[in-house]
Structure 1
Amino acid sequence: MKKEIEDIEDIKVFVDDFYTRVRGDGLIGPIFMQKIDDWQPHLNKMYAFWNAALFGIPGFRGNPFAKHAPLSIGLPHFERWLELFYATIDERFKGYIAEDAKKRAQLMANMFLSRLQQLNGNTDRVIV
């Protein structure tokens, strides 16, 4: 039965499920697997990120765009990332916070893609 995303425990459920899907995906899985050896620190950072984004709970530190900027990724990768994210949320959750999570993921994907396109392969530009 679907439920609202209520707390960090629900965030852990969707983050863990989402990244299981990511690791198994033929398009974006190899990109993540090439960069991440130990998944637990990444998952912990994602728990903190979504807890801050959805509930305003302090604890996330980092610059997500800087981590993604050097990667060879484009529109198809972001579309697949969103497809997996939406499927994960829709399978387990419903309600305002679930919809907010999807909206925030879409905004983040749009912003990352836009900024990557602005860099246009220029590795000399400062991204932080």
Structure 2
Amino acid sequence: MKQIEGIEDITLFVDEFYNKVRMDDFIGPIFNEAIDDWSHHLEKLYAFWNAALFGVPGFRGNPFAKHAPLPIGPDHFDRWLKLFFETIDAHFEGVVAADAKNRAELMAFMFLNRLSQMNGDPGKVIV
């Protein structure tokens, strides 16, 4: 077990995590339907986590707006978090690993809260 130290570690956990997501019977079909170019998507995720965990500039985007139209709810986020935690815990320990899991939980909570405010209208994106 090691600390998450930089982009190489981020690439490892993002790649492994999204391989699990893509293969998952429950959330995999949603992601696979929504994402045409996985290599582009993964590049954005490397930049997102590098910015979130280490403050490295380079991420641009609105993750919530991309997720808002998807048919997702609390059970989907529970599975997403389970797979994320499994991936982090299989490779990493320490402060940054704990921070990554905390940020994932906060993101899931925020997304669920904002989705509930949309009152079932996927066309109403709250930015």
**In structure 2, C-alpha distance between the alignment counterparts of 1:94 and 1:124, rounded to whole Å:** 40
CA RMSD of aligned residues (A): 0.9
Confirm or deny: 8 A CA contact 2:51 2:57 kept in the other structure. yes
- Residue 95 of structure 1 aligns with an amino acid whose one-letter code is G
Q: C-alpha displacement at 1:124, in angstroms?
A: 5.2
Deviation string, structure 1 residues 32-66 (Cα, Å, up to 9, x no partner): 00011220000000000000000000000000000
**Equivalences for residues 11-90 of structure 1 within 5 A:** 11-90=10-89
Deviation string, structure 1 residues 60-84 (Cα, Å, up to 9, x no partner): 0000000000011000000000000
Q: C-alpha displacement at 1:119, in angstroms?
A: 0.5
**In structure 2, C-alpha distance between the alignment counterparts of 1:123 and 1:19, rounded to whole Å:** 24
**In structure 1, C-alpha distance between the alignment counterparts of 2:44 and 2:123, rounded to whole Å:** 27
Deviation string, structure 1 residues 67-126 (Cα, Å, up to 9, x no partner): 000011000000000000000000000000000000000000000000001111134534
**TM-score normalised by L of structure 1:** 0.96
Change beyond 3 A, Cα 1:127–1:5: same
**In structure 2, C-alpha distance between the alignment counterparts of 1:91 and 1:53, rounded to whole Å:** 20
Quote the residue 2:124 is aligned against: 125
Secondary structure of 1:33's match?
A: helix
**TM-score normalised by L of structure 2:** 0.97
Answering whether residue 99 of structure 2 is matched by residue 100 of structure 1, we say yes
Change beyond 3 A, Cα 1:75–1:126: closer
Give unpaired runs (5+ residues) of structure 2: none
